């Protein structure tokens, strides 16, 4: 069972600017999170492979291995929550961060309260995902999900999904035939209150369509203009 007590949560701060790293560590300490700092990308990656963390704050520009690369490699073996911390603002970099499997991202300079809210949201979401279905499998047309194993298949072929893509697909499938607004999806899947950035939802819907609808030539995810999205039988 996942604990939501901050005091039990161990956070790795991967940040090569020492002043920022220390600032984050002090702020996290005020919230009763335990944290450690790594300033080198390669060393951070090695450490993530060896130690269990509850969450990783990952800067993008790092010596030896950049944040997107670390995230991609970590995702091959672990679902540990990752928040990308990036100085860049272009949509391309955001998408790259999310596509490499990050759960969320935040752009520098950010308000510490916003980062803390996003961390809480991830832990809340994690706790609530553990209450999701007892059903061993969920089926829609040729799509089958095994929520306990985080696996999805289309026509018996496995689909490679990032954790966030999986969460989104699962949410849509659990609510099939119900039209879900972008705001509601943001709230339920990303766990934060509506912040106006519903583009994130559209980006992830595109990812899912590319991996499901476009691959099998069959429509699963429907857009309801001006409202949101729905998965239909
Ligand atoms: Ca940096």
Domain boundaries in the chain? 6-129, 138-231
Read off the pTM: 0.61
124 Cα: distance to centroid of ligand 1 (angstroms): 28
Q: Which two tokens stand for residue 20?
A: 């920022």
138-231: CATH topology: Arc Repressor Mutant, subunit A (1.10.10)
Q: What integer is the mean pLDDT of 73-102?
A: 80
Please say whether the beta carbons of 1 and 24 come within 8 A. no
76 Cα: distance to centroid of ligand 1 (angstroms): 23
71 Cα: distance to centroid of ligand 1 (angstroms): 15
User: How many other C-beta atoms can be found within 10 angstroms of the C-beta atom of residue 134?
Assistant: 7
Between CA 20 and CA 22 the distance in angstroms is 5
Can you give the pLDDT at residue 44? 97
Q: What integer is the mean pLDDT of 151-165?
A: 89
Q: What is the pLDDT of residues 23-79, one digit of tens each?
A: 999 999 999 999 999 999 999 999 999 998 999 999 998 999 999 999 999 988 888
Q: 228-231 and 180-181: which strand pairing?
A: antiparallel
59 Cα: distance to centroid of ligand 1 (angstroms): 6
109 Cα: distance to centroid of ligand 1 (angstroms): 12
Between CA 129 and CA 122 the distance in angstroms is 10
Q: Which two tokens stand for residue 166?
A: 């999986």
Architecture per CATH, domain 6-129, reads as 3-Layer(aba) Sandwich (3.40)
């Amino acid at each position: 069972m996942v604990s939501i007590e901050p005091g039990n949560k161990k956070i790795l701060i991967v940040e090569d600017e020492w002043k920022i790293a220390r600032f984050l560590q002090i702020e996290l300490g005020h919230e009763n999170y335990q944290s450690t700092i790594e300033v080198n990308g390669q060393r951070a990656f090695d450490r993530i492979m060896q130690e269990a963390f509850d969450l990783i704050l990952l800067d993008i520009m790092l010596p030896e291995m950049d944040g997107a690369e670390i995230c991609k490699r970590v995702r091959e073996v672990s679902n540990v929550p990752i928040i990308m911390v990036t100085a860049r603002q272009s949509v391309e970099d955001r998408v790259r961060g999310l596509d490499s499997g990050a759960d969320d991202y935040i752009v520098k300079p950010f308000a510490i309260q916003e980062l803390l809210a996003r961390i809480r949201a991830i832990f809340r979401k994690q706790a609530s995902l553990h209450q999701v279905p007892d059903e061993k499998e969920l089926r829609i047309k040729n799509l089958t999900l095994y929520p306990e194993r985080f696996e999805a298949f289309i026509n018996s072929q496995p689909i490679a999904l990032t954790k966030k893509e999986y969460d989104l697909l699962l949410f849509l499938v659990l609510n099939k035939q119900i039209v879900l607004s972008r705001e509601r999806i943001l709230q339920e899947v990303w766990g934060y209150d509506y912040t106006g950035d519903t583009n994130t939802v559209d980006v992830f819907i595109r990812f899912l369509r590319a991996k499901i609808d476009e691959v099998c030539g069959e429509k699963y995810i429907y857009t309801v203009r001006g409202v949101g999205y729905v998965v239909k039988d």
